[in-house]
Amino acid sequence: MAIYKQATETTFVLIKPDGVRRGLVGEVLARFERRGFVVRRASCVQMTSGDVAEHYPHLAAEPFFPEIVGFMTSGPVVALVLEAPNAVAAARQIVGATDPMKAEPGSIRADLATSVRFNVVHAADSESTARREIAHFFPGARDEENDVSDERS
Ligand code: TYD
């Protein structure tokens, strides 16, 4: 029987303050691990408003941005570097659409989110965004640790 090796990729995932507050850290991590993701880095941190502005530059001009800042700074978050084949796209699939009413049943947001804002988890939307977010939350990490080039079966 042939054994195929699949190249892995890393992505950035963040469990938002509602997820931490509601005790959903284990539930969220389990969903990624069951799908084959490996936790490479994990850190529980309190975001500042500056962190939120850097994390969501595309939303800075939105009228609801102050509310996002208020929410994202309302308690600790868990920042994660996760590794899997097609990690960026697979994580977005596991997380589901921004609005839980539009998210696929079985996704984290469809199953666990209580509103568009309080949607439990963030996942990077591209490889370049993942690199930027990993560098922001894990500034000590070397590039080669963040950008996985090895293969595992
Ligand atoms: P966005 O980057 O558009 O979505 P996603 O998290 O799915 O990549 O938005 C970032 C976060 O901003 C989103 O998860 C929740 C919040 N948000 C609101 O509170 N209201 C809104 O109308 C939108 C579009 C986003």
Kindly report the number of other CB atoms within 10 A of residue 96's CB atom: 24
Q: Catalytic residue among 55, 58, 122, 136, which?
A: 122
Instruction: State pTM to two decimals.
Output: 0.92
Residue 122 catalytic? yes
- Give the pLDDT of residue 142: 63
CA atoms within a 13 Å half-sphere pointing along the CA-CB vector of 70: 6
pLDDT greater than 70 at residue 130: yes
Domains of the chain and any CATH numbers:
4-44+80-138 (3.30.70.141)
DSSP per residue over 87-134, as a string? HHHHHHHHH--SSTTTSPTTSHHHHH--SSS--SEEE-SSHHHHHHHH
Q: Which atom of ligand 1 sits closest to the CA of residue 97? A: 7
Contact status, residue 54 vs residue 132, Cβ threshold 8 Å: no
How many Å apart are CA 55 and CA 117, to the nearest integer? 15
Which residue has the least CA distance to atom 18 on ligand 1?
Answer: 117
Q: What is the pLDDT of residues 26-68, one digit of tens each?
A: 999 999 999 999 999 999 999 999 999 999 999 999 999 999 9
Q: Which atom of ligand 1 sits closest to the CA of residue 58? A: 2
How many percent of the chain have pLDDT more than 90?
86
Question: If you average pLDDT over residues 12-34, what whole number do you get?
Answer: 98
Alpha carbon of 65 to ligand 1 centroid (Å): 10
